[in-house]
Amino acid sequence: MENEIRKNEKCFIGMPSCGYGYESAKSCFLAAPAHASYTLKIEAIQSIIEAQQYECHIALRRIDPGTFAFCTKICSKIIQSQFCIVLLDPSFEQSGGEYPNPNVHFEYGMMIGQNKQIIPLQDEKYDLAFNISPLDTIKYNDSNFKIKVQEAVDNAIKKSTEVASLGKQLRIPEVFLFYNFLGFELSDTAITFYNILYEYGKNLGFYLFDNKREKKIKYFASFHNEDPKLIVLHTKLLIEKVTSTYERLETGVDDQETKKKYGYLKDTISIDIIVPPFYEKQEVDSKISEIADNKFNYPINIYYLEDIQEEVNNKYKEVGDLKVIKPKKS
């Protein structure tokens, strides 16, 4: 399944191909001048992004001694991000003069070259540099800065989520076959009950499947190219959402029949996850158990993509060979 995620095959600076996957992490890359006057704006942007459960990579805060910073902290993070934000406000000389920040503009060029979804921001009191002046830019002032950023981030996340959802459906057909063999089908979110459950996991990368005959519900996510920390965190958040909903419903209901109905949430849900092949499945499982308050013990099944592919291939093998009929001679 090498077509699952588009990978970077050619290094921008002539190094060997890194193979990082485009839009493979639930993150945003923020390029901004490293000047104290922008600290509050950067923190506001970071807060808006993290409130949506996206990680915000800020290059100017992530340069570690002894690392090839361009590859590990800038280029790879731009490649992996779902969308990028660039703050095009100027840097300042000690004399008070203003100039376009070269690092920010360089990173902006990389974003454009990689066809990233970009949110360009600039204070309305400044002018764009001549070489980027034709490009659409969101102009803001002190009174509407947070509103403008929030609207732009919401739109970027909506677009990236829709694209990712469609892409996953096209990229991993074995998954749908695998669950069909187990008696599961993709849940119909036009049904209110399933839509509520689906919404809990949608922004965390989870699909919802159900087996109506056995009255079972399964959350599934393919984290085949994701950072294991993201996998653990997203699974933890999903467990907490479902658990808190059940507890809230249970405490607000007195009659036993309704409680039994709500018990469906607790007794029938399981979680399946595909993890990268270079991480131990048991280690990921242990880390989830360590940080997630899984008080209802939702079963968690962890696979490699090749595990699912093997199961599907085995089903085809069960069919056996079919005899080829030779065409009759005319």
Count other C-beta atoms under 10 Å from residue 44's C-beta.
Answer: 14
Q: Categorize the per-residue pLDDT at 224 as very low, low, confident or very high, splitting at 50, 70 and 90.
A: confident
- Name, in order, each residue with C-beta under 8 angstroms of 196's C-beta and a sequence gap of 6 or more: none
Residues forming beta bridges with residue 208, ordered by sequence position: 219
What is the bridge-based pairing of β-strands 138-140 and 118-123?
Answer: parallel
pLDDT at 67 over 50: no
pLDDT at 171 over 60: no
Report the pLDDT averaged over residues 297-317.
88
Confidence (pLDDT) at 3? 41
- Note the pTM of the prediction, 2 decimals: 0.50
The region of weakest confidence among 4-18, 121-135, 136-150, 202-216 is 4-18
Which of helix, strand or coil describes residue 197? helix
- Burial of 82-120, coded b for 16+ CB within 10 Å and e otherwise, reads bbbbbbbbbbeeeeeeeebbeebbebbebbeebebbbbb
What is the fold of 27-163? Rossmann fold (3.40.50)
Report the pLDDT averaged over residues 94-112.
89
How far apart CA 78 and CA 111 sit, in angstroms, is: 7
How far apart CA 60 and CA 2 sit, in angstroms, is: 33
- Domain locations along the chain: 27-163, 172-317
Q: Which residue has the higher pLDDT, 202 or 14?
A: 202
Confidence (pLDDT) at 258? 58
